[in-house]
Amino acid sequence: MSIVKDMSLAPSGHQKIRWVRDFMPALSGIEERFRREKPFAGLTIAVSVHLEAKTANLGLVLREGGADVHLTGCNPLSTQDDVAAAMADLGVDTYGVYGVDMAGYENLLVETLKCRPHLIVDDGGDLISLLGDRCNQYGERLIGGCEETTTGIHRLYARQRAGILPCPMMAVNDAKAKHYYDNKYGTGQSTMDAIMHTTNLMVAGKTVVVAGYGWCGKGIAMRAKGMGANVIVCEVDPFKALEATMENFRVMPMDQAARLGDLFITATGCKDIIVKRHFQVMKDNALLCNSGHFDCEVDVAALGEMAAERFDRRANIRGYRLPDGRTLNVLAEGRLVNLAAGNGHPAEIMDMSFAVQALSLEWLAKHRGELEKKVYNVPDEIDDQIGRVKLAAMGLAIDELTQEQRDYLAGWEA
pLDDT category, 414, cuts 50, 70, 90? low
Mean pLDDT, the chain, whole residue set: 96
Strand order in the sheet with 263-266: 250-251, 230-234, 207-211, 263-266, 287-290, 327-331, 317-321, 309-314
pLDDT category, 393, cuts 50, 70, 90? confident
pLDDT tens for residues 68-110? 999 999 999 999 999 999 999 999 999 999 999 999 999 999 9
pLDDT tens for residues 40-50? 999 999 999 99
* Residue 256: C-alpha distances to residues 224, 232, 275 (Å): 20, 10, 13
Cβ–Cβ under 8 Å, residues 166 and 118: no
Cβ-based neighbour number of residue 325 at 10 Å = 8
Residue 332 has pLDDT above 90, yes or no: yes
pLDDT tens for residues 197-218? 999 999 999 999 999 999 999 9
**Annotated binding residues, as ranges?**
149-151, 214-219, 235, 291-293, 338, 345
Tell me how many degrees the CA angle 250-180-274 measures, rounded to the nearest 5: 40
pLDDT tens for residues 294-318? 899 999 999 999 999 999 999 999 9
Cβ-based neighbour number of residue 319 at 10 Å = 16
Q: Which domains does the chain have, with CATH numbers?
A: 3-178+346-393 (3.40.50.1480), 184-340 (3.40.50.720)
**Annotated binding residues for NAD(+), as ranges?**
149-151, 214-219, 235, 291-293, 338, 345
Average pLDDT over residues 11-30: 96
Percent with pLDDT over 90 in the chain: 95
pLDDT the model gives residue 297: 97
pLDDT the model gives residue 172: 95
